[in-house]
Amino acid sequence: MSAKIKRREFITLVGGAAAAWPLAARAQQQAKVPIIGVLGAATPSLWAPWVAALVQRLRERGWIEGRTVGIEYRWAEWRADRAAEIASEFVRLKVDVILTSGTANVIAAKQATAVVPIIFVLAGDPVGAGFVASLARPGGNVTGLSIQGPDLAAKRLELLREVVPGLRRLAIMAHTGLPDVELEMHEVQATAEMLGLEVEPLEIRRVEDIVPAFEVLKVGANALYVVGDALTGANRVRINIMALAARLPTMCNFREFVDTGGLISYGPNFPDQFRRAADYVDKILRGTMPGDIPVEQPTKFDLTINLITAKALGLEIPPTLLARADEVIE
């Protein structure tokens, strides 16, 4: 009897251990699944199409969310202080890579860690901002995709002049104090002056500066160039409403301004930037050091025009320009 009991106990023990082995193996596999920390500069709704492009490209590379890779999403909602909190949280969570965009968010991530790889998707001047040592050899733990283009300011002003043939005086709204924003502002200003345009800078540093900036705008400005960043992006509806009230056609560097009433935008295709960022993630998760991956420039650009706004401003968009547009809102 005792022998039978011992045999049963042995079978139970072995059976229990065998049942436990897959669980232990799964737990071990789960522990090895790399984690991507996505530090979203804005809101989930704004980033939704960009994140979709990122996740799709990761899947194409073999990184399937929830199976072969984990993704932790956090949203700064345009707040630098919130970005700093998220970056610190990611370090505590021991994520394998942090993906973000925007000067304030990259700075927050850099201040939180000099070890965890950081990938920026949209950066105006990564060298000037101190993110990388050079575009070809970033060094350190940061690399990514720039949206800097030396001829973009000229291209945007060329497009604006097609829409506003009588353009003589250009107002430029920019959140000063950020290296990449000031770089674009200076490029626009220099290009405008070369074209013989008068320039009126509208410098803002906080949301409370937007209304006064419009109030001090001198009579005679024919158009408004908005340098896109976290501050102007978060307040794009307000800026577009005030520009429309002032009868000012607007040009910006990303299409979300046009979605909310801006007239025209020309700039890098953001979903494409996020797709390419997934390739950076792939390389890093497979062992490449971020400092060895060169910073790349945009390869795909979008021209977006809002015909509803054009009609409200009494502007006739040239058919040739409409034919070149990647998207027309009507």
Q: What is the mean pLDDT of residues 112-128?
A: 92
What phi, psi does 232 have (nearest 5°)? -70, -35
Which burial class, exposed, middle or buried, applies to 163 when counting CB atoms under 10 A from its CB (0-12, 13-18, 19+)? buried
Q: Under CATH, to which class is 152-268+302-329 assigned?
A: alpha beta
Integer CA distances (angstroms), 23 to 12, 156, 327, in order? 17, 58, 51
- Among residues of the chain, what percentage have pLDDT more than 90? 71
Place of tokens 């530090």: 39
From CA 302, how far away is CA 223, in angstroms rounded?
A: 20
Query: Could you report the per-residue pLDDT of 292-308, keeping only the tens digit for each?
Result: 999 999 999 999 999 99
List, by residue range, all CATH 3.40.50.2300 domains of the chain. Answer: 31-147+269-301, 152-268+302-329
In angstroms, the CA 311 to CA 83 distance is: 39
Q: Is the pTM of this model over 0.85?
A: no
- Mean pLDDT value across residues 219-232: 88
**What residues contact residue 209 under an 8 Å CB cut-off, 6+ apart?**
203
C-alpha separations of 173 from 15, 72, 77, 248, 275 in Å: 71, 34, 21, 12, 30
The whole-number pLDDT of residue 94 equals 97
Strand extents, DSSP E, the chain: 35-40, 70-75, 97-100, 118-123, 142-146, 169-175, 198-204, 223-226, 250-252, 264-268, 301-306, 327-329
Given this model, what pLDDT does residue 150 score? 53
- According to CATH, the topology of domain 31-147+269-301 is Rossmann fold (3.40.50)
pLDDT score of 85 more than 90: yes
